[in-house]
Every structure is written in C-alpha cells, then in structure tokens.
Structure 1
Amino acid sequence: MLTSFFSTSKPIHTIIVLVYMSVSYFVANNTLFSNAFSWKPFLQAVGVWLLFIMTLFILNFVSQKNELNKRSSYRILLFAVFASALPVALQSPKIVITGVFVMLALRRILSFRSGLHMERKLFDAGLWLCLASITCFWTGAFSMLLLAGLLFYGSTTLRYWFIPLLAVICVAILCTCYVIFIGEDQSYILSIIDDFSFDFSTYTSLTILIPIAVFSTLFLWTVFRYIQDSKRATIAQRPLYLLVIFMAIIAIAIVVVTDNKTGAEWYFFLIPLAIIMTNYLENASGKFFKEFLLWIVVLLPFTHYFLS
C-alpha cells in the first residue's frame, strides 16, 4: 500500500521519486528527442532538470529542518506528482528557475525562528525574492511572506526592516550595470514588469482544468486539518504553520493576477500544498481513505496524456 510504503523516509523512496521526476520531466520535454539533436537546447534542458531536482531536495531539507512534517516521504512524492501533472510548468525554464529562487527564500524565512544570523538571512531572502521577481515578476508578492516572517520573529529590531530593502538596492544596481554594459536603456529593465489579467479562458482545457481542480479540492480538504494542528503546535512552531498557509494564499493570488495564464503559474502553489497535504496524510485517521486519496494523486499526471 502506498501510504504504508511512503510513511517512512529511506534512500529507496528518494531514488524512486527521483526516477519518477526525471521520467516526467523528459517526457514533458520530448521535443528534445523528436527534433534534430543540438547541444545547446539539450544542455539547457539538463540544467533545468537539475534545478527541478534541486527544488525537491530544498523542500525536503526545509521541511525536516523546521519540523513542518514528520520523517516520511510523502512530501517529496506529492511534490513530484503534482509537478508532473503540470507538464506545461516543466516545459518552462523560467518557472522552474523561479521555483528554486522561491524555495531558497523560503528556506531563509522559515529559519528566522532560530534568531541567529538574522541580518544575513534577511539579506539572502530579499536577494532570492528579487531574483525571482526578475524571472517571474508576480512572484515578488512572496516578499509579503518575508515581512510576515519578520513580523513573527524580528519585529522589535528596527534595523531588520531595512535589510531586505538593501538587497533590493543591490540587485537594482547590478541590473543597471548589466543594462549599461549591453547597451540597452531603462525600457529594458521595465520590460520585466508583467501586466495583470483576470482572463481564465485557457483553463477551459481539460488538461489544465483537471489538475487545477484536484489541487484546489485537496487544498480545501486538508488545510482545515492543518489549521487545527497549528493550534495544537508549540508557541515557537505555530508561526511556521501560519507562514505555510500564507504562502499558499500568496501563490493563489499570483495565479489570479498572472497575465499569460498557461497553468504553469500553479507551480508555486505546489510547494505549500505538498507540505499541507503531507501533514494530513501523517496525522489524519481513516487509512482506507488516505490510501484512496494518495492513489488519485499518483494517477493524476496520467490524465494529461490520456486527454491530449
């Protein structure tokens, strides 16, 4: 049974998930094999694949380090399956690269609770979020997560509030130097700013609609249990629960305002969803229902290839 097999964390689980992710990624990018071979796109695809794998390891590290979940393999399985259900995201290097930046920022934000090296962590988080907003503009909204973490763990120290701004200034200076170096003008910098749109017409495609519907249903089903568990958590741990929920809310807001909606924008929502659903699988009763739920998730990516 899946729930029993992945209820522990062993190297074999990681190997299985990595193989699954690799197959899913290269199937999503099958044009590499159907077109005439070229080293440049091949090496780019391999680089993005490595970043995709890196995202999984950062997620696993962040979850274990901050005790967001127990020592099970659910979170890596769920993230791998959720991402595989969105091949359009795996086909976008920009989305995968931004996902790494967001995860690195989340790693720093959640580590605020230790109170150690706060200046360095604040600068790093601000830097990663600036880079994320350059590659995908609206992911800059995750800056609110940084401010929320600072509010929970460092609001009494005034200088902390200015350190993320310093990171923004540093990135702005570097970007300006780069633009001057390549001979462009300020319009080149302004081109990173995306428009917003509330047009969801692309979601009428079943290959996009079905995964989104499953993600939304799973979130609504499991988030209330997550909120209940946050109330039973220790005072030091409780803000971490709230930050994960807040991250999910921000990710949904990014989906709503993104201009060119392809379904790939849901990729950032998968990170908090994997954490929240893992908590449900680890703590909820009803073994048969959890098994049924996990099988639905595992089979979800196959619907895309069945419908396309």
Structure 2
Amino acid sequence: MISKFFSTSKPIHLVLVSLYILVVYVFVKLTPFPDTMNIESFAIDVLMFGVIFFSISVLAFFVTKNTLTQRNSFKILFYVLLLAMLPMAFENNNILLANLFVILALRRIFSLRSHQNVKKKLFDAAFWITIAALFYFWAILFLAIIFAALLLFSNDEIKNWIIPFIGFFCVMMLVFCYVILTSGDLSDALVIIEPLNFDFSAYNDISFVTGITILLSLGLWATFFYIKGISDKPKQFRSSHLLVLYTTALAAVIIIITPDKNGSEFIFLATPLAIIMTNFIEGLSERWFSEIFIWLLILTPIAKLFI
C-alpha cells in the first residue's frame, strides 16, 4: 500500500519520486517529438530538471526542519504528484525558477520561528522573493509572507521590519546597474511589471479543467480539515501552520490576477498544498481513504493523456 510505504522517511522515497517526475518531465518535453534536437536545448532541459529536483530537496528539508509535518515522505510525494498535474509548468522555465526561489525564501521565513539569525533570514527571504519576481513578476506578492511571519512570531524589533526592504532594493539596484550597462535606459527595467488579468476563458479547455478540478477539490478538502486541526497542534507550531495557510492564500491570489493564465501559475500552490495534504493524511485513521486520496492524485495526470 502506497500510504504505508511513504509513512516513513527514507532516501529511497526521494529516489522514487524523482524518477517519477523525471518520466513525466521527459514525456512532456518529447510530446510532440521534436524534429531537431541540439546540445543547447538539451542542456537547458537538464538544468531545468535539476531545478525541479533541487526544489523537492529544499522542500523536504525545510518542512522537516520546522516540524510542519511528521517524519514521513508524504510531503515530497504530494509535491511531485501536484507538479505532475501541471505539465504546462515544465514548458515555462521562468516559472520553474521562480518557484524554486520562492521555496528558498519560504525555507528562511519558516525558520524565523527559532528567533536565531533573524536579520540574515529576513534579508535572504526578501532577496530570494525579489529574484523570483524577475522571472515571474507576481511572485513579488510573497513578500507579504515575510511581514506575516514577523507578526505571527511576535518579532516587534523595528529594524527587522526594515530589513526586507533592504533585501528588495539590493536586487533592484543590481537590476538597474545591469540595465544601465546594457541599454542605458532605466525604463527598460519596468518591462518585468505585468498587468492584472481576470479573464479565465483560458481555463475552458477540458483536459486542463479536469486536472485543476481534481487538484482544487482535494486541496480544498484537505485545507478544511487542516484549518480545523490547527488548534490541536502544539502551541509553538500553530503560527507556522497559519503561515502555511497565508502562503496558500497568496498563491491563490497570484492565480487569479496573473495575466498569462496557462495553468503553470498553479505551481505556487504545490508547496503549501503538499504540506496541507500531508497533515490531512497523517490525521486519517482510515487507511483505505488515504489510498483513494493518493491514487486520485496519481491517476489524474495519466487520465489527462487520454482526454
């Protein structure tokens, strides 16, 4: 049974989920089979898979380190299964990079609970999120998570509220210097800013709707029980779990307002939903329901191939 197999944390689990997402990634890249292949495009594809693998590893590390779940491998299983439901993200290198930088930022943000090296963590988090915004502009909204963390972790030192802005402006200064050296026109730096878009007609495609409906349905179901269970968590971890919910909400806002709605934007939900779904599975006493839940996530990407 899959739920029993992943109920522990072993290196073999990371190997298996990595192989699974590699198969999906290769299938997406080779469908339809390209007429020509060159070393440059192959190298980029290998690099991007490295980005995906690194994001899995960072997720596993910071979730375990901050006790957001129990010691098992459900978190990486759900993360990979959610990615497999979003094959369009594999065609967007920018969003894969942005997602990795957001995860690197979340690693620093959630570790603020320890109240150690706070200033460095705040700078790093703002730095990584701003870098992410260079690849996917609306990832900039995740800066709000930093200030939510300061509130939740009762950090009222004034200097700490200023540091995220320093991290942001450090990246922007580097961007402006690059623009000046290459084009000499500072207005060129503004091209990364994207407009709001509330047109959801792109979601009418049946193959797209099927996967996203399953993702959102299972995600909302798990989130409902996650919210109910926060009060039962140890007091020192409740703020961290609230932060997971805020991250989910911001990811949803990005999906709603992003101008280029092609499905890849749902990738920002993968990290918080992986944590939420893991907590949901951990709280289930009926193993058969866990199996159904997991198999739905496994079979949905396969079913999409025939729709």
TM range (shorter): over 0.9
Q: 1:281 to 1:119 in 2, by over 3 A?
A: same
* Partner Cα distance (2:205, 2:65) in 1: 39
Same amino acid, percent of matched pairs = 36
Matched, 1:38 2:13: no
Alignment of 1:1-308 (within 5 A): 1-30=1-30, 34-307=34-307
Q: Which amino acid aligns with 2:262?
A: T
The CA deviation at 1:32 is 9.1
CA distance in 2, matches of 1:15, 1:159: 43
Deviations 1:17-62 (A, max 9, x none): 1100111111111169523121111111111110001110111001
- In 1, Cα distance between the equivalents of 2:263 and 2:134? 20
Q: TM-score, normalised by structure 2?
A: 0.97
Q: Distance in 2 between matches of 1:82 and 1:219?
A: 10
Letter in 2 for 1:63: V
Q: Deviations over 1:269-303 (max 9, x none)?
A: 11111110011111112221111111111111112
Q: CA deviation at 1:208?
A: 1.3
How many pairs align? 307
Which is worse superposed, 254-263 or 218-227?
A: 218-227
Using the alignment, how far apart are the partners of 1:292 and 1:282 within structure 2? 14
Distance 1:97 1:160 in 2: 27
Matched AA of 2:63: S
| Aligned equivalents of 2:32, 2:221: Cα separation in 1 | 38
- Kindly provide the amino acid, as one letter, of the partner of residue 27 in structure 1: F
Q: Answer yes or no: is the 8 Å Cα contact 1:32–1:41 preserved in 2.
A: no
Note the alpha carbon deviations across 1:104-150, whole angstroms, 9 max, x for none.
00000000001011110000000001111111111111111111001
CA distance in 1, matches of 2:166, 2:32: 41
What is the CA–CA distance in structure 2 between the aligned matches of 1:180 and 1:154, rounded to whole Å? 41
The answer on whether the counterparts of 1:83 and 1:267 sit within 8 Å (CA) in structure 2 is yes
How far apart are 1:154 and its partner, in Å?
4.8
**Aligned counterparts of 1:20 and 1:129: Cα–Cα separation in 2:** 28
Q: Which amino acid aligns with 2:66?
A: N
8 Å contact 1:126–1:164 — kept in the other structure?
A: yes
Q: Given residue 142 of structure 1, which amino acid in structure 2 is its aligned partner?
A: F
Matched-pair contact (CA < 8 Å) for 1:55–1:100: yes
Counterpart-to-counterpart distance in 2, 1:85 and 1:77: 13
Distance in 2, Cα, partners of 1:159 & 1:190: 29
Contact 2:150 2:156 (8 Å CA) reproduced: no
**Alpha carbons 1:84, 1:90 under 8 Å: kept:** no
Q: Which amino acid aligns with 1:186?
A: L
Alignment deviations for residues 150-180 of structure 1 (CA, whole Å, 9 cap, x no partner): 1122531010011011111111111111001
Alignment check: 8 A CA contact 1:82 1:301 kept: no
> How big is the alpha-carbon RMSD for the aligned residues of Structure 1 and Structure 2?
1.3
Aligned to 2:169, the other structure's residue is in SS state helix
TM-score, length-scaled by structure 1? 0.97
Q: Deviations over 1:206-248 (max 9, x none)?
A: 2211121111111221112212221112222100100001100
SS at match of 1:236: helix
Whole-Å separation in 1 of the counterparts to 2:128 and 2:32: 30
